[in-house]
């Protein structure tokens, strides 16, 4: 590891910052310089993302350890901690905020989109409460792996720009190596950001925030008849689409508190998140989710609950007449269920290879899921093998082997084939289309754990690198990485995940 200067005044301008959030009124944020690291070391710089953001990659290769550890605040940054509140497991906490994250600033990327660059784990802020503001290496690698996997799967998500170790110990149940995660987001505004101002009776701030959000994320709504109602509807639409995508790949967020739900529609905060291996709608991994509030199949309903909390904050903007406002907001939140169902079913049709719509499709999907649950089938492999089977009748045995009783899916397969005869795609076309929506590779928990253990215990980042490589092309058969498609052996199974805070 190389030691890097802690001189914060050394100029470095790899970022062309344009910090709009810092220009919002003072109650939106607290200025906060990142803490320093003793021996920062750059584990990984996401060079393609850096290029997309228009950053100076050469400088980041040289100074990335210093910049992303917090030792060197780049020119133009206006580091701050954002204020927000949130419902945590259903209980409202009026002040949360960035307790271990510092927004360096915003850049305009090569597509003209404004993106936040944030350091997670760069020390205490006024919102740290009793926390140390630090992050341990394990959760940093986990967020890096899973957020980039989500991106490659085509699911809206915050991104991983870099990971560094700090050289400082972090005290959890054990003493762990400290690290910082550099995160990129369309913005870090959450449902809880609105709640923060509503809880304080700061109606002006709620309006300023809503106007800022429309400007930044939903500019097409500026001229709507009721822009705030339209905003509410648009956010519900993005979240309905997002959560449907999670279900399509077996993703369980794990902590869907209102402070972990973005206004932009990106997945955020990969704490105890996990991908399901064996299909069971009640699956929960998070050690802190004792009642299964955030179980796999509860996610759409929790999304709606969170969005109802958002709606409450927008009521005064939606209509001056509070009864009318409630009525309008209610129509939107009630419509969320249908929106979600539409996205979910469209995706499930694609997963079983349907290009047209028929009334019986939902039942066909549901009966497959019921068989998978009963037969303890691996969620990912079942759909991937079904894709292969769609192109080659000889592969029925491989598909059936996903089920405890390989005879069990025979009747379903007959119904499926009958349904397929009413479409005119060739088997090859159908199989190719299915392989584009049914991944071969997901970030399986046991692989993540193996990568983290090697890094934390032996400073060996080779498994981390291998996982990133295979997960960057999740829809391609990669024979060299075939074992990464496999579910865990019983001894490898990870039953619980931790948020790592
Ligand atoms: P999270 O579970 O990561 O969504 O965080 C929930 C809240 O706890 C946020 O306000 C975080 O900023 C805060 N928090 C989590 N970990 C720490 C930490 N190590 N130090 C200070 N605050 C933290
Ligand atoms: Mg959070």
Whether residue 425 lies inside any domain: the answer is no
Provide the residue range defining the domain that includes 144: 21-188
pLDDT of residue 419: 98
Close Cβ partners of 150 (under 8 Å, ≥ 6 residues apart): 156, 157, 251, 267
End-to-end Cα spacing for the chain = 25
Do 167 and 210 belong to one domain? Answer: no
Do 93 and 177 belong to one domain? Answer: yes
Do 153 and 298 belong to one domain? Answer: no
Question: 273: CA distance to ligand 2 center in Å?
Answer: 12
Q: Indicate if ligand 1 lies below 6 Å from the C-beta of 255.
A: yes
Question: 297: CA distance to ligand 1 center in Å?
Answer: 26
Do 160 and 227 belong to one domain? Answer: no
Q: Indicate if ligand 1 lies below 6 Å from the C-beta of 288.
A: no
Question: 128: CA distance to ligand 1 center in Å?
Answer: 7
Whether residue 297 lies inside any domain: the answer is yes
76 Rama class: left (phi>0) / alpha (psi -120 to 50) / beta: left
Do 57 and 85 belong to one domain? Answer: yes
Which residue has a Cα nearest atom 16 of ligand 1? 501
Say whether 269 is catalytic.
no
Whether residue 415 lies inside any domain: the answer is no
Do 177 and 206 belong to one domain? Answer: no
3-state helix, strand, coil in the chain (%, to 5): 45, 15, 40
**Hey, which residues does 103 pair with through a beta bridge?**
80, 118
Distance separating alpha carbons of residues 101 and 191, to the nearest angstrom: 17
Tell me which of 88, 102, 131 to substitute to probe ligand 1's pocket, judged by most ligand atoms within 8 Å of the beta carbon.
Answer: 131
Task: Yes or no: say if 213 and 263 are a contact pair by the CB < 8 Å rule.
Answer: yes
Domain boundary pick from 350, 378, 409? 350
Which residue has a Cα nearest atom 12 of ligand 1? 99
pTM for the full model? 0.96
Which residue has a Cα nearest atom 6 of ligand 1? 96
pLDDT of residue 403: 98
Q: Two tokens at 165? A: 């170790």
Query: Residue 139: nearest ligand to its CA?
Result: 1
Q: Indicate if ligand 1 lies below 6 Å from the C-beta of 96.
A: yes
Whether residue 13 lies inside any domain: the answer is no
Task: Yes or no: say if 244 and 268 are a contact pair by the CB < 8 Å rule.
Answer: no
Which residue has a Cα nearest atom 23 of ligand 1? 99
Whether residue 435 lies inside any domain: the answer is no
Tell the burial category of 142 from Cβ atoms under 10 Å away from its Cβ (0-12, 13-18, 19+): buried
Q: Indicate if ligand 1 lies below 6 Å from the C-beta of 97.
A: yes
Question: 255: CA distance to ligand 2 center in Å?
Answer: 8
Tell me which of 99, 134, 258, 287 to substitute to probe ligand 1's pocket, judged by most ligand atoms within 8 Å of the beta carbon.
Answer: 99
Whether residue 224 lies inside any domain: the answer is yes
Q: Indicate if ligand 1 lies below 6 Å from the C-beta of 133.
A: yes
377 Rama class: left (phi>0) / alpha (psi -120 to 50) / beta: beta
Do 97 and 239 belong to one domain? Answer: no
Q: Indicate if ligand 1 lies below 6 Å from the C-beta of 123.
A: no
Query: Residue 121: nearest ligand to its CA?
Result: 1
**Hey, which residues does 87 pair with through a beta bridge?**
92
Question: 98: CA distance to ligand 1 center in Å?
Answer: 7
Tell me which of 82, 100, 188 to substitute to probe ligand 1's pocket, judged by most ligand atoms within 8 Å of the beta carbon.
Answer: 100
Per the residue annotation, which of 63, 116, 132, 259 is the catalytic one? 259
Do 56 and 167 belong to one domain? Answer: yes
Query: Residue 499: nearest ligand to its CA?
Result: 1
What string of H, E and C letters represents the secondary structure of 35-97?
Answer: CCCCCCEEEEECHHHHHHCCCCHHHHHHHHHHHHHCCCCCCCCCCEEECCCEEECCEEECCCC
Q: Indicate if ligand 1 lies below 6 Å from the C-beta of 188.
A: no
Do 74 and 184 belong to one domain? Answer: yes
Task: Yes or no: say if 193 and 82 are a contact pair by the CB < 8 Å rule.
Answer: yes
Distance separating alpha carbons of residues 173 and 169, to the nearest angstrom: 12
Distance separating alpha carbons of residues 134 and 500, to the nearest angstrom: 10
Tell me which of 94, 185, 288, 501 to substitute to probe ligand 1's pocket, judged by most ligand atoms within 8 Å of the beta carbon.
Answer: 501
* Alpha-carbon distances, residue 396 vs 69, 72, 181, 389 (angstroms): 52, 58, 44, 6
Which residue has a Cα nearest atom 21 of ligand 1? 131
pLDDT of residue 495: 84
What string of H, E and C letters represents the secondary structure of 257-291?
Answer: CHHHCECCCCECCCCCCEECCECCCCCCCECCCCC
Q: Phi and psi of 226, rounded to 5°?
A: -125, 90
**How open is the CA angle 388-389-390, to the nearest 5 degrees?**
90
Tens-of-pLDDT digits for all 501 residues of the chain?
Answer: 334 444 554 445 789 999 999 999 999 999 999 999 999 999 999 999 999 999 999 999 999 999 999 999 999 999 999 999 999 999 999 999 999 999 999 999 999 999 999 999 999 999 999 999 999 999 999 999 999 999 999 999 999 999 999 999 999 999 999 999 999 999 999 999 999 999 999 999 999 999 999 999 999 999 999 999 999 999 999 999 999 999 999 999 999 999 999 999 999 999 999 999 999 999 999 999 989 999 999 999 999 999 999 999 999 999 999 999 999 999 999 999 999 999 999 999 999 999 999 999 999 999 999 999 999 999 999 999 999 999 999 999 999 999 999 999 999 999 999 999 999 999 999 999 999 999 999 999 999 999 999 999 999 999 999 999 999 999 999 999 999 999 999 998 988 888 766
- Number of structural domains found in the chain: 2
List, in sequence order, every beta strand (DSSP E) within 207-366: 251-252, 274-275
pLDDT of residue 110: 96
Do 256 and 173 belong to one domain? Answer: no
265 Rama class: left (phi>0) / alpha (psi -120 to 50) / beta: left
Domain boundary pick from 138, 164, 188? 188
Whether residue 404 lies inside any domain: the answer is no
**How open is the CA angle 347-349-353, to the nearest 5 degrees?**
115
CB atoms within 10 A of CB 320: 8
Do 134 and 276 belong to one domain? Answer: no
Domain boundary pick from 141, 161, 188? 188
Q: Two tokens at 189? A: 């505004």
Do 88 and 162 belong to one domain? Answer: yes
Query: Residue length, the chain?
Result: 501
Give CA torsion, residues 63, 65, 68, 74, to 10 deg: -20
Whether residue 114 lies inside any domain: the answer is yes
Q: Which of 27, 42, 490, 496 is nearest to 271 (CA)?
A: 496
pLDDT of residue 3: 41
**How open is the CA angle 494-98-256, to the nearest 5 degrees?**
45
Query: Residue 500: nearest ligand to its CA?
Result: 1
């Amino acid at each position: 590891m190389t030691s890097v200067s802690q001189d914060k005044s050394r100029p470095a301008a790899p970022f062309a910052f344009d910090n709009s959030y810092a220009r919002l009124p003072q109650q939106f944020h607290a200025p906060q310089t990142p803490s320093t690291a003793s021996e920062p070391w750059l584990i990984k710089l996401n060079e393609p993302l850096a290029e997309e953001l228009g950053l100076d990659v050469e400088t980041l290769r040289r100074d990335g350890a210093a910049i992303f550890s917090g030792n060197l605040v780049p020119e133009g940054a206006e580091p701050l901690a954002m204020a927000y509140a949130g419902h945590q497991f259903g209980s409202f906490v009026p002040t949360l905020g960035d307790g271990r994250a510092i927004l360096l600033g915003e850049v305009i990327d090569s597509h003209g989109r404004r993106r936040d660059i944030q350091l997670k784990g760069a020390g205490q802020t006024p919102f740290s409460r009793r926390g140390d503001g630090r992050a341990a290496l394990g959760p940093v690698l986990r967020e890096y792996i899973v957020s980039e996997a989500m991106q490659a799967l085509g699911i809206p998500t915050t991104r991983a720009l870099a990971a560094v170790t700090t050289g400082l110990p972090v005290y959890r149940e054990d003493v762990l190596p400290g690290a910082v995660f550099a995160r990129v987001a369309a913005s870090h505004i959450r449902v809880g950001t609105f709640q923060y101002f509503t809880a304080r009776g700061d109606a002006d701030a709620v309006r300023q925030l809503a106007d800022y959000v429309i400007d930044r994320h939903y500019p097409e709504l500026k001229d709507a008849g009721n822009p705030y109602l339209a905003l509410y509807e648009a956010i519900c639409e993005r979240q309905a689409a997002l959560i449907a995508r999670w279900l399509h790949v077996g993703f369980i967020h794990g902590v869907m508190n209102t402070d972990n739900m973005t206004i932009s529609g990106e997945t955020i905060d990969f704490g105890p998140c996990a991908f399901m291996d064996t299909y069971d709608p009640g699956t929960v991994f998070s050690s802190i989710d004792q009642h299964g509030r955030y179980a796999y199949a509860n996610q759409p309903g929790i999304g709606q609950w969170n969005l109802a909390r958002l709606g409450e904050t927008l009521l005064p903007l939606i209509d001056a007449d509070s009864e009318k406002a409630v009525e309008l907001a209610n129509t939107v939140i009630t419509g969320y269920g249908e929106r979600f169902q539409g996205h979910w079913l469209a995706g499930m049709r694609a997963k079983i290879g349907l290009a047209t719509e028929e009334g019986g499709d939902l039942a066909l999907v549901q009966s497959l899921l019921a068989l998978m649950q009963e037969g303890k089938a691996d969620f990912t492999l079942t759909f991937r093998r079904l894709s292969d089977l769609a192109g080659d009748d000889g592969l029925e045995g491989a598909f059936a082997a996903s089920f405890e009783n390989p005879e069990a899916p025979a009747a379903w397969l007959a119904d499926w084939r009958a349904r397929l005869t009413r479409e005119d795609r060739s088997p090859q076309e159908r199989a190719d289309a299915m392989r584009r929506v049914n991944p071969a590779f997901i970030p399986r928990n046991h692989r993540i754990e193996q990568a983290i253990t090697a890094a934390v215990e032996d400073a060996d980042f080779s498994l981390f690198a291998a996982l990133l490589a295979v997960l960057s092309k999740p829809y391609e058969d990669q024979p060299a990485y075939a074992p990464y498609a496999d579910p865990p052996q019983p001894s490898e199974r990870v039953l619980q995940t931790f948020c790592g805070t």
